[in-house]
Amino acid sequence: MRATTSTIAQASRRATASRSAGRLSLPAQSASVGPSRCLHIGTSRSSTASSSLLAQQSSCTKSLAQPRFAIGIRGHATSSSTPIEEVEPIPAISEENTYDVVIIGGANAGLAFACALLSQPTIAKTTRILLLEGASLDRTRSWSGKGDWENRVSSLTAENVAWLDSIGVWKHIEQDRSCPVDEMVIWANPSESSTPTIHFPPLGRPMARMTENLNLQRALLRRIEEVGKGVVTIKENSKVAEMRLGEGGRWVGLRIGDAWLRGSLVVGADGPNSPVRHFSKIESYGHAYQTHAVVCTLNHFASSLYPNTTAFQRFLPTGPLAFLPLSGEASTMVWSTSPENAAALKRLAPEALVGMVNAGFTLPESTLMALVEKMLEADRQGVPLTSDQISSLIATLPSPPLSTDQPILPPNVTSIPAKSIASFPLRLTHADVYLGPRTALVGDAAHTIHPLAGQGLNMGLADVKSLSEVLERARALGGDLGSQTSLADYPRERYPLNHLMLSTTDKLHYIFRARGGLVNWIRGTGLDVINELGPIKKILMGGAGAGTLGVGGGKRTDEQREFGRANATDELPPIGGWPMTAAKGVEGWFALKGVMGMVGSVVKEGAKMGVGKAASLIAKK
């Protein structure tokens, strides 16, 4: 193997050199199109060659064929800005360092992709997978599942929870640290008199689960350790220094330090600034929202009335403010707001931030905006507001009377752990394509999204699920995993859906920020109408992650297949919908027809008898 690789490398270098020389010294040949050039030679030879020249000729064809591929690859890999002559050849790579799939990035998407691949029978039986992570995974591995809450929390839709369960990951999740979201309240308060609200009531099963990223990552790691022995290799603290397409474009070489390894397919799960995307020369488009998100953990008292399983989101002119439950006494906050506001909020003392967050959820919009102005003013002077100042400001600022249609509000926040406060800028990006030369992008490497719908991680999980299924199909049919033919279905499945989600979220962001008489009225009426229409709400919830309820249903269990329900003693599910209505209508019509017929015949008989009797009476007379 070592020998082959090196000879091919040499052949290609020769070919490259001869090509660059050939442009000058062989005008007749370079006049014809590149690819067909070597072929004309090949053909004329094969038509004249006798069979005794066979061996010679095949080696000749081989070396002649080489530039053709090199040209093709150069087309892809123009990314390597240095001229090919100056690049040192990739040394021979041993069988041990040769993998079928190399995943770059050991965060949610990368780890989930490894688990997804392990759940596919052919992939798990026939491939070698490598997961490269630039940092150490020790913090994830040793996360205790107790103590302080992490500030990076994600909402996992019911659909993705079901999928994680089916691939054997969910059982490793620390269940106490994953909070179901049963209800959702979304509101805005654009003017003093109106508070348009949507309240998604409980469905009987959680719409989503709030789970710390570390909790999910630890579960994914445990699953890999459980079933991935001999299939998935994890290399931590390995930063990829260089990526280059191998000779013939049949593999991608990766340099880590001084060592090279290679893979047939490289999957970029390496986040928004994806090096794999840069290597693949894939542009991405999008825009920065002039918005930063401030996140922190909120401590509050447990309500005696209801469990803390309701998510709240208030739309402010600067962006949404979300309250997401973590447990009875803790929740997490995402406050998307202007960069100055975010910086000022971060500079507040934790006690003062408590005051601002409570004000953020409860004050009328005009009062809140005035309070934020005061906060910015104090921040500019270098003396951030204290919690006492905030409470006195709230008492003194002019406050309109609260409108009568106030929504349910989240519990009063009592404290915020200082080290949980963080902020990050928000961007919308979408890669132009998901596939490069032997590369594929998943998760944040392919797209980043505004967090207002909580769909970033969910889109990433849907990506890895789809890609793993595509690769399984390709592998079971002997496909080359990195080839365009094998991968073509992945963008076909995911690109339109991701784009729809990205653009919807983007529009929602702008619609909910806008303030103005007409916009307020349209939005308010729209929200009220949606709130009143059950079916639309159900579809929205289905689309927003309730999964199993929306349109269509989940897979039935064996028991359900047996009895038509979960247990034989359960009541039969009610049958409804238009087919039932139609059936009832037809049934009713037949019943009516029958009754009318009976009544009619009785009347007819009676009439007949009456007439007959009358006739006989007359006849008697």
Partner 1 sequence: MHRPSLPSALRTARPALRSLGIRSSHPSTFFRSLSTTTPTSSSTPSSSTSSTFTTINESEISHFSRLSSQWWDENGEFGLLHRMNPTRIEYIRQKVAFAPSLSDGETKEPEWTFATRHSDSARESSRGTGAWLTGLRCLDVGCGGGLLSESLARLGGTVVGVDASESNIGIATTHASQDPFLSQKMEEGGLQFRHSAAERLRDAGEKFDVVCAMEVLEHVDEPGEFLKCLGEMVKPGGHLIISTISRTPLSQLLTLTLAEDVLRLVTPGTHTYRKFVKPSELRRYIYSSMGGFDTWYKNEDASDIREDEVGETRGIIYDPLKGAWKLWGGVEGSWWKEAGEGCNYMFHARKRV
State whether residue 332 is helix, strand or coil. Answer: strand
> What is the closest distance, in whole angstroms, from the C-beta atom of residue 111 to partner 1 in the complex?
24
483 binds partner 1 (CB under 8 A): yes
Strands 447-448 and 232-235: unpaired
Nearer to partner 1, 150 or 472 (CB): 472
Site stretch for partner 1 (CB under 8 A), options 121-129, 139-147, 161-169, 429-437:
121-129
> What is the closest distance, in whole angstroms, from the C-beta atom of residue 244 to partner 1 in the complex?
14
Q: Which of 79, 122, 338, 531 binds partner 1 (CB under 8 A)?
A: 122
Q: Which segments of 196-338 does DSSP mark as H helices, in order?
A: 213-227, 275-279
Nearer to partner 1, 9 or 203 (CB): 9
Site for partner 1 in 209-268 (CB under 8 A): 246-251, 262, 264
Nearer to partner 1, 1 or 592 (CB): 1
- Cβ neighbours of residue 93 closer than 8 Å, sequence gap 6 or more: 5, 253, 260, 261, 262
Site stretch for partner 1 (CB under 8 A), options 52-60, 180-188, 401-409, 581-589:
52-60
Q: Please, is 236 exposed, middle or buried when counting C-beta atoms within 10 Å of its C-beta (0-12, 13-18, 19+)? A: middle
Token pair belonging to 426: 């928000």
Q: Write the binding mask 419 to 458 for partner 1: x where contact by CB under 8 A, - elsewhere.
A: ----------------------------------------
> What is the closest distance, in whole angstroms, from the C-beta atom of residue 466 to partner 1 in the complex?
15
DSSP class of residue 90 equals P
> What is the closest distance, in whole angstroms, from the C-beta atom of residue 3 to partner 1 in the complex?
9
22 binds partner 1 (CB under 8 A): no
Q: Which of 235, 473, 515, 565 binds partner 1 (CB under 8 A)?
A: 473
> What is the closest distance, in whole angstroms, from the C-beta atom of residue 477 to partner 1 in the complex?
4
> What is the closest distance, in whole angstroms, from the C-beta atom of residue 54 to partner 1 in the complex?
6
Site stretch for partner 1 (CB under 8 A), options 95-103, 366-374, 575-583, 602-610:
95-103
> What is the closest distance, in whole angstroms, from the C-beta atom of residue 155 to partner 1 in the complex?
32
Residue 192 near residue 403 (C-beta atoms within 8 A): yes
Q: Which of 230, 478, 552, 576 binds partner 1 (CB under 8 A)?
A: 478
Q: How many Å apart are CA 269 and CA 131, to the nearest integer?
A: 10
132 binds partner 1 (CB under 8 A): no
Nearer to partner 1, 42 or 384 (CB): 42
> What is the closest distance, in whole angstroms, from the C-beta atom of residue 485 to partner 1 in the complex?
5
State whether residue 137 is helix, strand or coil. Answer: coil
Note the Cα 40 to chain centre separation in Å. Answer: 50
Q: Which of 22, 42, 328, 417 binds partner 1 (CB under 8 A)?
A: 42
Nearer to partner 1, 46 or 414 (CB): 46
A 10 A CB-CB count for 371 gives 21
Closest by CA to 250, choosing from 480, 8, 1, is 480
Q: Which of 17, 121, 239, 373 binds partner 1 (CB under 8 A)?
A: 121
Q: How many Å apart are CA 565 and CA 562, to the nearest integer?
A: 8
Total residues binding partner 1 (CB under 8 A): 58
> What is the closest distance, in whole angstroms, from the C-beta atom of residue 117 to partner 1 in the complex?
14
> What is the closest distance, in whole angstroms, from the C-beta atom of residue 479 to partner 1 in the complex?
6
47 binds partner 1 (CB under 8 A): yes
State whether residue 431 is helix, strand or coil. Answer: strand
Backbone phi and psi for residue 620, each to the nearest 5 degrees, phi listed first: -60, -45
Q: At what angle do helices 108-118 and 213-227 cross, to 10 degrees?
A: 30
Q: How many Å apart are CA 18 and CA 74, to the nearest integer?
A: 15
Q: How many Å apart are CA 361 and CA 384, to the nearest integer?
A: 21
Q: How many Å apart are CA 514 and CA 516, to the nearest integer?
A: 7
474 binds partner 1 (CB under 8 A): yes
Q: How many Å apart are CA 270 and CA 254, to the nearest integer?
A: 14
504 binds partner 1 (CB under 8 A): no
State whether residue 107 is helix, strand or coil. Answer: coil
531 binds partner 1 (CB under 8 A): no
Q: Which of 15, 19, 38, 355 binds partner 1 (CB under 8 A)?
A: 38
403 binds partner 1 (CB under 8 A): no
> What is the closest distance, in whole angstroms, from the C-beta atom of residue 264 to partner 1 in the complex?
7
Backbone phi and psi for residue 525, each to the nearest 5 degrees, phi listed first: -65, -45
Nearer to partner 1, 120 or 274 (CB): 120
Q: How many Å apart are CA 298 and CA 324, to the nearest integer?
A: 9
391 binds partner 1 (CB under 8 A): no
Site for partner 1 in 97-116 (CB under 8 A): 98, 100
Q: Which of 29, 30, 57, 366 binds partner 1 (CB under 8 A)?
A: 57
Residue 326 near residue 411 (C-beta atoms within 8 A): no
Q: Which of 146, 555, 561, 620 binds partner 1 (CB under 8 A)?
A: 561
Nearer to partner 1, 262 or 465 (CB): 262
Q: Please, is 520 exposed, middle or buried when counting C-beta atoms within 10 Å of its C-beta (0-12, 13-18, 19+)? A: middle
Q: How many Å apart are CA 238 and CA 134, to the nearest integer?
A: 5
Q: How many Å apart are CA 254 and CA 263, to the nearest integer?
A: 8
Q: How many Å apart are CA 428 and CA 505, to the nearest integer?
A: 9
- Cβ neighbours of residue 567 closer than 8 Å, sequence gap 6 or more: 559
State whether residue 524 is helix, strand or coil. Answer: helix
> What is the closest distance, in whole angstroms, from the C-beta atom of residue 220 to partner 1 in the complex?
23
545 binds partner 1 (CB under 8 A): no
Backbone phi and psi for residue 82, each to the nearest 5 degrees, phi listed first: -70, 145
Residues forming the site for partner 1 (CB under 8 A)? 1, 4-5, 8, 35-36, 38-39, 42-43, 46-47, 49, 54, 57-58, 60-62, 64-66, 68-69, 72, 93, 95, 98, 100, 121-122, 125-126, 246-251, 262, 264, 473-480, 483-486, 488-489, 492, 558, 561
